[in-house]
Amino acid sequence: MTEKKPQKPSSRNQGILSNNWLITLSATLIGVFLALYLNEQVAKQKLNEAKASATDNILAEMEGNLKSMQAAVVNHQKVFDVLNFMSYQDSESGKLIVPLDSMMKFRRDYPQLLELKDSIQVEEGIYAYSNGSLDFDFQLPQFELSTLAWNTLVSSGMSRSYNFDCLMQIRRIYQGTDKVISLNQELFDSFYRTQDFRGDRDKILRLLAMLLDFEKTAIQALENGMEEIQNCS
């Protein structure tokens, strides 16, 4: 009995096997690339959502800081004006010796604070007031400024997802906020640590003037920058 030798696959069958293998490999590669693409898209979407949330938190914090500083400027300006006006008080007689235009401006700005009775003209345009009262509570306004959203943005590494210009805009605004916080604390410490209020008045007025300048600058930066930050990329 003659043994049959195994037949080699025909070239036609070899072509079919080769094509099937190529089809399977191509389908696998397409599936891998599709999965990678989808994963990348999902990761990108999550990053965009996290970035949008971080931006919302930054803007909400800035809006709160803006309102606090706007209110603080009004109160700090009032403290400054009253202290500055009281520098007209003569240390020996206790009388207020005030130029008429300064008196008129103060009474126009703060009509409810000052009550005066007796006045004597000491020279042209300058009057001395010996009787009266100043109804003002010498308390510094307390206000809260937050940098939590900014610190979280930096510590989480999310700040790297913003372009350079946008990140620098946010950073400059918070640098202004930090300066206001620092000066406000310095003013608070000096104001309540003083033993001779009249003697330390000039120092407190200098601190108040610096604080007001930085507050007004920070407010302007917030007002101008918040709209731009909404479109951060």
Q: What is the pLDDT of residues 74-100, one digit of tens each?
A: 999 999 999 898 888 887 787 888 999
Percent helix, percent strand, percent coil in the chain, to nearest 5: 65, 10, 25
Which whole-number Å values give the CA distances from 177 to 77, 173, 222, in the listed order?
18, 6, 9
C-alpha to C-alpha distance for 153 and 148, rounded to whole angstroms: 9
User: H or E stretch including 43?
Assistant: helix 11-86
Structure tokens that stand for 85 in this block? 């006006």
State the residue for tokens 């606090």. 68
- What letter would DSSP give residue 223? H
- Range list of β-strands (E), the chain: 96-99, 114-116, 119-123, 126-129, 132-134
Average pLDDT, the chain: 81
Tell me the pLDDT tens digit for each residue of 17-75: 455 655 665 666 666 565 555 555 555 666 567 788 888 899 999 999 999 999 999 99
In this structure, what is the dihedral angle of CA atoms 127, 133, 135, 141, given to the nearest 10 degrees?
Answer: 60
Residue 177 has pLDDT above 50, yes or no: yes
Structure tokens at 115: 């009550």
